Amino acid sequence: MGKLRVGIAGLGTVGGGLLKLFADPRSRLNEKLELVAVSARDRSRDRGVDIGGYRWFDDPVELAAQRDIDVVVELIGGSDGPAKRAVETALQRGAHVVSANKALVAVHGLALAETSEASGGKLLFEAAVGGGVPMVKALKESVAGCRASAVAGILNGTCNYILTEMEASGRSFESVLADAQRLGYAEADPTMDVGGFDAAHKLTILSAIAFGTLPDFEHVRIEGVERVSLTDIRMAGKLGFRIKLVAKGALNDGAVEMHVRPALLAFDHPLASIGGSLNALVVDAEPAGQLTFIGRGAGAGPTASSVASDLIDLAEERAGHAFGRPLAQLSSAPRATPAERGRYYLRLMVADRPGVVAAISDRLAHEGISIESFLQMPAPEGPVVPIVLTTQTCARTAVEAAVSAMQALDVVVEAPYVMPVEVSGAHWGAA
Ligand SMILES: NC(=O)c1ccc[n+]([C@@H]2O[C@H](COP(=O)([O-])OP(=O)(O)OC[C@H]3O[C@@H](n4cnc5c(N)ncnc54)[C@H](OP(=O)(O)O)[C@@H]3O)[C@@H](O)[C@H]2O)c1
């Protein structure tokens, strides 16, 4: 068999990294693949590598339609628009597609996988989750013989960087985010990252593969990190926890529950020490046990290396099904009802008046919730003080009822902030 002919659509951060890999004589890519065509918006832009020898397309869909291109690498981004049209065009004619586009795969992955099965063109997306960390392959291949019961990860480097930096520097969320934007670590519009949507896209993909279920982005419960304050980080630290944006999918009695939200992790939790822009995934799968994967979750080099590994799989004819098994074998698992039990962290901003603590304790007791620990910050300037507490194991619904009763108290000056407490261990339910 001759070399597979590759076209790259999108020559930005990741596409530029891939161009460099193709230009590197030490890379194995050129042994079995040949880069023949590229596409981006601006032909005159310096890509750091001479692209004069490749056919140029202004339109990525036109590149994807070329019959002599065997593999289309989509590195444009966005769940719709030219990225989607290029991927559809390639798959429809039976060409293979490699993509780093988690939004596209999370939202349209099922339809694209159907097209892939119908035409025989493979759809691979290792780079869409975890940058350089082989999370998709780990689930598709390494634990293929196991029963995965839960996946939990730190899947968004921007959020993790912000939370790590807040803890280290004592600066506010807004200040760290502004710096991250200036340094290019965070997008000008950070909503996808700090709102939890990017992590939810990735969790959708990982859960489908781990549990053998249809990708189901619509049912990820998503909460971003915008409300995490320095007070939360400091108080959690005093109680022995670190706050992380955790993306977690769990299989409970055949039902899948997926959520992305800030959570308190005990210092000995495998995800608690993942700092800065690192990504990590913990998989619970029997009989393998608990596995942890850690590495750089973004950037040109790590992400391009995952694209390259998919390309080599294609060249060596070992590329499997998009979601690890034929679509007919993926089930539409019922969604778990949020009858969640665990320990919870509550932060209340209250008027500094006698009787406040008793009033709060009373609302908790009324819902049958016992307090595990309680902290009150010394009153700073002004009449409002934070009170933080963690509960013993109780129903989430009971916490919600207590919180709404607290909001009715005139001494509670803003909506209480609730986060779950996660513990380490074989079972991934909240503590
Ligand atoms: N950056 C990361 O670390 C990372 C990590 C994991 C996954 N990903 C994913 O990888 C994909 C690419 O990300 P990136 O960071 O490399 O993006 P990027 O730097 O913004 O690059 C996007 C590329 O697509 C081209 N493009 C945009 N719109 C186009 C259009 N309408 N027609 C033709 N070309 C178009 C741009 O052309 P011009 O260069 O001419 O403007 C640019 O080359 C996204 O799906 C992203 O989520 C990125």
Counting every residue, how long is the chain? 431
Which pLDDT score, from 0 to 100, does residue 48 have?
Answer: 93
**Domains of the chain with CATH codes:** 4-128 (3.40.50.720), 138-294 (3.30.360.10), 341-422 (3.30.70.260)
**CB of 335 closer than 8 Å to CB of 255:** yes
* CB-based burial label for 276 (10 Å; 0-12, 13-18, 19+): middle
Residues 174, 225: Cα–Cα separation, whole Å: 11
For ligand 1, say whether the CB of 8 is within 6 Å of any of its atoms.
Answer: no
The C-alpha atoms of residue 383 and residue 349 are separated, in whole angstroms, by 10
* Distance in Å, CA 347 to ligand 1 centroid: 39
Point out the catalytic residue in the list 84, 140, 202, 248: 202
Across 374-391, average pLDDT: 84
How far apart are alpha carbons 419 and 277 in whole angstroms?
A: 22
Confidence of residue 6 (pLDDT cuts 50, 70, 90): very high
pLDDT digits (tens, 9 = 90+) for 331-364: 987 776 656 789 999 999 999 888 999 999 999 9
* Residue 343: its H or E element: strand 341-351
Q: From the CB of residue 320, how many other CB atoms can be counted at a distance below 10 Å?
A: 15
C-beta 15 within 6 A of ligand 1: yes
Cβ of 301 below 6 Å from ligand 1: no
Summarize the confidence of residues 136-165 as an average pLDDT: 96
> pLDDT digit string (tens) for 287-297?
999 999 999 99
Q: What is the DSSP string of 92-149?
A: HTT-EEEE--HHHHHHHHHHHHHHHHHH---EE-GGGSSTTS-HHHIIIIITTTSEEE
d(CA 98, CA 124): 5
- How many whole angstroms from its chain centre is CA 111? 21
Q: Which of ligand 1's atoms lies nearest the C-alpha of 300?
A: 3
C-alpha 38 to ligand 1 mean position (Å): 13
For ligand 1, atom 15: residue with the closest CA: 13
What value does the CA radius of gyration of the chain take, rounded to a whole number of Å? Answer: 24
Q: Kindly give the distance from the C-alpha atom of residue 78 to the centroid of ligand 1, in angstroms, as a whole number.
A: 9
Residue corresponding to tokens 């709404």? 404
Other Cβ atoms within 10 Å of 115 Cβ, number = 20
- Number of neighbouring beta carbons within 10 Å of residue 109: 27
Say if CB 139 and CB 293 are below 8 A apart.
no
Q: Is 100 in the pocket of ligand 1 (CB under 6 A)?
A: yes
Contact 113, 123 (CB under 8 A): yes
Confidence of residue 188 (pLDDT cuts 50, 70, 90): confident
CA dihedral 18, 24, 29, 35 (to 10 degrees): 60
Do 322 and 208 meet the contact criterion of CB atoms below 8 Å apart?
no
Residue 380 is predicted with a pLDDT of 64
129 versus 338: the higher-pLDDT residue is 129
pLDDT digits (tens, 9 = 90+) for 216-245: 999 999 999 999 999 999 999 999 999 999
Substitution candidate for ligand 1 out of 63, 76, 136, 155 with most atoms within 8 A of CB: 76
Among residues 26, 106, 93, which one has the least CA distance to residue 66? 93
202 catalytic residue (yes or no): yes
- The pTM of this model reads 0.96
